Structure 1
Amino acid sequence: MTGEPEGPDFDVPVGLFEDIEDLKAKLARLTAQVEALTGGDGAEPGEASADEGEAAGGEAAADDAEEEEWQYPPFILLLDPPEYDDELRALIEWVEGVLVPGYLAEPSADARWCHLWWEHPVAIARLHAVWLAWQELTDPASCGYTGPSVWHRDHMDPALRELRGSTGPFAGCVKGEHQIDHRMPGLVPSAWTHAED
């Protein structure tokens, strides 16, 4: 006997203990982030205090250092080039690779779509928000198995209704034509002015 009391003999799967350790490490990281953001420990924003790193253990401290380097992506409209260009390129890949083939049927008067959607700032903003939510809500580790349903209900469906509706940013874009300035006051599209260009 080692002198330590033995715990009850439960038939618990080994994976459960790993899950508990993962949850402890995540909790320690989140606690450190909250304290750093609120200035609760005197650390600069974005820095974890040494006490939390020690409390979480060596492995968790290494994970904290890795987590501190990675930042959640900011909203695209807050970025300047070249970060904006990189984020827009990634957004275009997702929209054209996932959203368009999987969710967008043939455009119509009731469901508009512009093939040059990235030239509409409102579309970029809405689609980027939908993409950020998709990244979070399709990962079972962060949201469980109901995340995709929440993403459809709360993010994708409302955004597409706004974008594709008759008053959305694509209202002036019809099949084969693209009008980015169609909603600007004082700029009335004319067949005569387009013919001269």
Structure 2
Amino acid sequence: MTDEPSPDFEVPVGLFQDVEDLKAEVTRLSAQVTRLTASATAEAEEPPGDTADAGEEAPPGEDDEDEWQFPPFILLLDTPEYDDELRALIEWVEGVLVPGYLAEPSADARWCHLWFEHTVAVARLHACWLAWQELTDPATCGYTGPSVWHRDHLDPCLRELRASSGPFAGCVKGEHQIDHRLPSTVPSAWRGAGA
């Protein structure tokens, strides 16, 4: 057998990026399969309960709390949880969003330094922050996650917030207004029938 010379051709740069994206996707899917397999195995290995309880189902709502893994939408939280979530959101907005993405406010691009007093702004920024948490982790979204976050979440959020008809419409430098955007009542569907 003779040594054959290696072929002389150029590999497109985009091919390397595609390969890296595929590697990240395989890693993410492998981790997901491992988690699903582990949970399925754990469920299959659970020892049977008392024979007296075998025909009874658990009361609704008891197991639901254990399954909840992600923070719910901020406007649905009650006071202590809302305050904690708002503090974390303020830290992210003031530490990441404001210095990295917001230029000087203007008539075409408004911003209120008391944004956390605008319910609409809190709701939009919280949703954007939740997406940021998910889409900036290469283990779960590959290397394209940040690009998707910018395109699908940040840009539309800032467009809506900073628009001349957005929640900061009445706020100008040195002046803050929230009354212009507050709804008169919160829909009862958000809080449940008993609220």
TM-score normalised over the length of structure 1: 0.63
Paired amino acid for 1:158: P
Look up the match of 1:120.
118
Q: Alignment partner of 1:114: what SS?
A: coil
For residues 134 and 184 of structure 1, the distance between their equivalents in structure 2, rounded to whole angstroms, comes to 27
For residues 147 and 126 of structure 1, the distance between their equivalents in structure 2, rounded to whole angstroms, comes to 19
How many residue pairs align between the two structures? 141
Look up the match of 1:102.
100
Instruction: Note closer, same or farther for the CA distance 1:153–1:21 as it changes in structure 2 (3 Å cut).
Output: closer
Matches for 1:84-95 after TM superposition, within 5 Å:
84-95=82-93
Matches for 1:93-172 after TM superposition, within 5 Å:
93-172=91-170
| Aligned-pair identity (%) | 79
Q: Which runs of 5+ in 2 are unaligned?
A: 1-24, 47-65, 185-195
Matches for 1:52-63 after TM superposition, within 5 Å:
none
Instruction: Note closer, same or farther for the CA distance 1:143–1:75 as it changes in structure 2 (3 Å cut).
Output: same
Are the aligned partners of 2:105 and 2:111 in contact in 1 as well (CA < 8 Å)? yes
Q: Alignment partner of 2:130: what SS?
A: helix
Give deviations 1:85-138, integer Å, cap 9, x for gaps. Answer: 000000000000000000000000000000000000000000000000000000
Give deviations 1:8-29, integer Å, cap 9, x for gaps. Answer: xxxxxxxxxxx98985552253
Are the aligned partners of 1:28 and 1:52 in contact in 2 as well (CA < 8 Å)? no
44, 69, 89: which one aligns with 1:51: 44
Paired amino acid for 2:159: R
Is 1:29 paired with 2:27? no
Instruction: Note closer, same or farther for the CA distance 1:168–1:20 as it changes in structure 2 (3 Å cut).
Output: closer
For residues 23 and 145 of structure 1, the distance between their equivalents in structure 2, rounded to whole angstroms, comes to 14
Paired amino acid for 2:133: Q
Q: Alignment partner of 1:182: what SS?
A: helix
For residues 116 and 174 of structure 1, the distance between their equivalents in structure 2, rounded to whole angstroms, comes to 11
Paired amino acid for 1:74: P
Aligned residues: CA RMSD? 3.0
Q: Cα distance, 1:32 vs. partner?
A: 7.7
Q: Cα distance, 1:146 vs. partner?
A: 0.4
Paired amino acid for 2:71: P
